[in-house]
Chains A and B, each alone.
Chain A
Amino acid sequence: MKALFSLMQDTLNAAWVSRLLTLAIGLFFLMDLAPMEAVAAMGKMVGGGGVDVVNATSGATLVVQMVNKTMSDGKNVPFWVFCVSGSSNCHLPGPTLELGVGQTANFNLNVMGAPQEMPPYQGHTIHPHGLDVLQSEDGVPETGAAVLGDNYKFTVDTRYVGSHMYHCHVHTVKHLEMGMYAAFVVKAVDNLGNFTNVINQTGPAFDYEWNWVLSTVDPAYHADNAVGDSTVFADYNPKYFLVNGSEGLSKTAPAETVTAAAGKKIAIRLVGIHSVNGTFQIKDANGSSQSFVIYNRDGFALPSPQTVTSLEVNPGRTVDVMATLPAASGAWYPQITYKSLRNAAAYTNGTVYTRLNF
């Protein structure tokens, strides 16, 4: 703990803060010149909330913006979301970061002008959740992470080929809930360093990939008075249940509709940022459950893949699954039912539907 506190003092050292600020401002202007080059073109990405997909090695800068969303009951809920600096495409969830295995992630967070709390919870960070990075890149203020902007650099080995996530680690009970999260995908690469479409380092290839960011929303946590150490955060009553930032209350109003070719292999990356339990299933138009194969949990390959028709996705976990689409055209409805942490009872409006046309 001694080391922990001396690190915290270092962070609070004014000279260090100003150095970081200068660095962040400098990077902000540098990145502003070529923001769209940081956005990779992924021909086989069929969905994921329409968010920007960013190569994590690109030196891209992320910023934080307030986004107001009108929910299904007509109520307005403010979110804080990560956006690519200079991109007008600001969404809940934030942009997907993709990193080739063995390559060096190098990206920045600029919090200038970001919505934020007062001390001790000012600023924001990026925690590369599941990437097992060094303390200096971990984004945890309590162990010394800069909260007023930072550069993140790390590499991971082949065990990490799969889905992870990133999110702010400042006062996470508030900031995670506010929407400061997104998918982080580690990709296998070929000899030229180009991404390859395999589910893990030794796993099978897919034809399409679809990122699913799971989250839940208690509007009380988003209120103006829900700041600092407040008893608001002593209770969690989620009212809105999301996949890629959308509610998707029925098969006819899905959170997202994607299209893939019949007979092809699709990978779905489930990124669990929700704060309740959840059960994922794929159903056809008649409501019959389709089987799918689990390849990775928390971005690591399972000792052996598991074929199932139902999958529990827990808070803070990621799961990579694959399925082969039928040869004849049709539609599937991949869906998740959010459930209570106490007794696994499904929440009202707790099932979120998506649609996959083929």
Chain B
Amino acid sequence: MDVKIWRMFKRSEWYIAVLLLMFSGASWASTYTLYIKSGNWVVNGSGGATIKVWGFTDAPTAGPIVPGPLLESQEGESVTITVYNQHTLPHNFVVRGITTDQTQIPAGGNRTYVFTTSTAGVYLFSDTINSINREMGLYGAFVVHAAGGINKAWTNGPSFDIERLWVVSDMDKSRWNDIAGAGGTVNTSVYKPNYFMMNGMGGFDAMRAPNTVLQGNVGQVGLVRIVNAGQFDESLHFHANHFQIIDADGARLSSYEPGDTINVKAGTTAMLLYKFYRLGNYPMHVHTAQMETANGVYLNGAATLIVGQ
């Protein structure tokens, strides 16, 4: 790039924003508006069902989505989020590890959060008032990218070629969601989830969703950001290669730990590097019995594919 042009771009923050947009290929919004609503969420395919949920959306006229909209920023960026509570119960909005304001937003109310995302990584955002609110679908992922949107896990951190975000979660349709969703009282001492989701999908959808399937050329490195928004700890087993854990729930590891299965505790996060080692198609699935199913239907649970090409 011509030095004169470079100087011209440097003159204005607006130009810098455009420059970042050109190089990152993503659109960076530091301002978000979210709406909390009740609605239904559908797990497709055999064993799937329509489940009553409370969740977030960024479209004022649309229903809630599970997980909520992906929120993104870069290291050092200031973020403004306004949350409108359009549900009949109080809720709150906390980005775990970043924000601390747990003030309840009353039904019909709204609240604005302004904060700086200083540390690149992946974060769980959710309603933290009680376990029911999160279980009902009030959760999502906040990804803080390296400054400049470069393909590194953080500034001066490990490089990657492709990146994926996996939000895993569970729901107990008959004892929790459909009861709370109909205004009833949930007995929280019993939790027997029968839906296990990968990015809000059953495995049948997740195994063909391009942004979920871990796909790359042999030799490339994928950065996988994992958020366990559920109530159960999840053990995710990768076929075809071992990975390296680079971040365990926000703590960067000084030496990366190898593994073929990562245990992500309920309500926590992890980041790992997966190098594509083998050509072909392989599963990535939780290694616990019922969590591979949708109400007992095999592989419509927390699973996706690894594709080496």
Contacts and interface: CB of A to CB of B under 8 A. Distances in A.
Contacts of A140: 239, 282-283
Interface residues of A, number: 53
Which of B237, B256, B286, B298 is most buried by chain A, counting CB atoms within 10 A of its CB? B298
A201 interface: no
Given A143-B282, A300-B258, A341-B232, A138 B288 contact: no
Interface in A95-141: 121, 129-130, 132-136, 138, 140
Interface in A167-204: 171-174, 176-177
B240 A138 contact: yes
B293 A135 contact: no
A117 to B, nearest CB: 11
Given A135-B282, A143-B280, A233-B298, A317 B263 contact: yes
A235 B194 contact: yes
A304 B232 CA distance: 30
Interface string A255-299: 000000000000000000001110000000000000000000111
Contacts of B231: 342
Contacts of A138: 239-240, 282
A236 interface: yes
B282 A233 contact: no
B289 interface: yes
A232 B194 CA distance: 10
B96 interface: no
A277 B239 CA distance: 21
A76 to B, nearest CB: 21
A134 B280 contact: yes
A121 B289 CA distance: 16
Interface in B265-309: 266, 277-283, 286-290, 292-293, 295-299, 305
5 tightest A-B CB contacts, nearest first: A316-B287, A135-B280, A303-B255, A314-B263, A300-B258
Given A138-B239, A142-B283, A233-B289, 11 more contacts: A132-B278, A135-B282, A140-B239, A173-B289, A231-B296, A234-B295, A298-B242, A299-B260, A302-B257, A304-B255, A315-B235
Interface of A: 1, 3-4, 7, 121, 129-130, 132-136, 138, 140, 142-144, 159, 171-174, 176-177, 218, 221, 229-236, 275-277, 297-304, 312, 314-317, 341-342, 344
Interface of B: 46-47, 191-192, 194, 207-208, 231-233, 235, 237, 239-242, 255-261, 263, 266, 277-283, 286-290, 292-293, 295-299, 305
